[in-house]
């Protein structure tokens, strides 16, 4: 009973974070329409979050707090989070929202593999079902008549797939890193995304002129930065206290919010083939929730 009560707060945090992420794609599309490309908008919004974090958590930035044996985990959390967020945002800007998100949520497949390698979580029979359903769901969604193999056919699809892989790895690393608190992990994420975004912006030569950014656009950028700051804190809190595979399932709530939002805001409608593939991917995520339950029961017995 006490364990269930303790889990209410981190589970609620993950649900709130998932709901906000389910609609966060829309402001980034608005920024793209105003002339700020995805790489630049990601860099600027996460830089705002980073500045807020540095102001509020400056006491945590001391060598003994992060220059320890687990410092490499913070580095890799930052790198993986940077790649995950850049890929995710570029995907939802240039692709169909639900296709990108469903490919992103192949993450349970990658989570199982990463959790096995990094957390020594056992791969049960349900784990094999997760792998099978995830692969079949992706193949169903991606298959196109005339193509021999069901590979992603669009830029948005590739970004969704890459984002999911990096997101899963970042989640598992956050779970593995029990030496650092939520504040330091969040700082690592903001810094990682800011640096990754800046590099991508520089490579794509997409940095906008400051003088060309309108007041309304600045307000939108600042608002998104504040939102990301809040999201990072509550998500890192949830991911630190909830098993990796269970966290992925809770965050499937994002799909519900995104499906409703994309229908009303952009009139995007999924095809029957995409619905079937999507249901397989969601089913795989639900199976992955049972994996941690079985592991925890075996550890208690």
**What b-and-e string marks burial along 214-236, b requiring 16 or more CB atoms within 10 Å of the CB?**
eeebeebbeebbebbbebbbbbb
* pLDDT of the residue at 2: 45
* pLDDT of the residue at 299: 46
Backbone dihedral angles phi then psi of residue 264, each to the nearest 5 degrees = -80, -30
Spatial distance between the Cα atoms of 33 and 114, rounded to a whole number of angstroms: 37
* pLDDT of the residue at 301: 44
Spatial distance between the Cα atoms of 171 and 56, rounded to a whole number of angstroms: 24
Q: How far apart are the first and last CA of the chain?
A: 17
Chain centre distance of CA 60: 25
* pLDDT of the residue at 300: 45
Q: For residue 108, which of 273, 290, 262 has the smallest C-alpha distance?
A: 290
> pLDDT tens, position by position, for the chain (301 residues)?
445 556 788 888 888 998 998 899 999 999 999 889 999 999 999 999 999 999 988 777 775 566 677 788 999 999 999 999 999 999 999 999 988 988 888 877 888 888 888 888 776 777 777 788 888 888 888 877 766 667 788 899 999 999 999 989 998 998 888 888 878 888 899 999 999 999 999 888 767 777 778 899 999 999 999 999 998 788 878 877 887 667 767 877 888 889 889 888 888 888 888 888 888 888 877 776 665 555 554 444 4
The pair of structure tokens assigned to 289 is 């929730």
Spatial distance between the Cα atoms of 171 and 245, rounded to a whole number of angstroms: 9
């Amino acid at each position: 009973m006490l364990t269930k009560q303790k889990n209410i707060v981190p589970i609620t945090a993950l649900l709130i974070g998932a709901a906000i992420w389910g609609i966060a794609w829309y402001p980034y599309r608005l920024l793209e329409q105003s002339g700020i490309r995805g790489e630049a908008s990601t860099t600027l919004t996460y830089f705002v979050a980073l500045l807020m974090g540095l102001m509020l958590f400056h006491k945590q930035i001391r060598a003994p707090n992060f220059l320890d044996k687990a410092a490499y985990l913070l580095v890799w959390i930052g790198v993986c989070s940077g790649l995950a967020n850049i890929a995710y945002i570029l995907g939802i800007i240039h692709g169909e929202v639900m296709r990108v998100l469903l490919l992103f949520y192949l993450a349970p497949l990658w989570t199982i593999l990463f959790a096995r390698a990094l957390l020594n979580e056992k791969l049960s029979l349900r784990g094999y079902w997760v792998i099978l359903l995830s692969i079949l769901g992706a193949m169903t969604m991606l298959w196109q008549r005339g193509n021999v193999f069901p590979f992603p056919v669009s830029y948005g699809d590739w970004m969704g797939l890459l984002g999911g892989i990096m997101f899963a790895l970042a989640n598992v690393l956050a779970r593995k890193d029990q030496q650092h608190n939520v504040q330091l992990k969040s700082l690592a994420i903001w810094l990682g995304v800011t640096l990754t975004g800046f590099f991508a912006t520089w490579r794509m030569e997409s940095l906008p002129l400051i003088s060309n950014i309108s007041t309304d656009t600045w307000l939108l950028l600042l608002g998104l930065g504040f939102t990301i700051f809040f999201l990072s804190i509550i998500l890192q809190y949830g991911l630190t206290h909830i098993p990796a595979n269970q966290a992925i399932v809770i965050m499937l709530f994002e799909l519900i919010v995104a499906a409703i939002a994309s229908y009303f805001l952009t009139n995007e409608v999924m095809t029957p083939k995409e619905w079937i593939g999507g249901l397989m991917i969601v089913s795989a995520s639900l199976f992955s929730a049972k994996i941690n339950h079985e592991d925890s029961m075996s550890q208690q017995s």
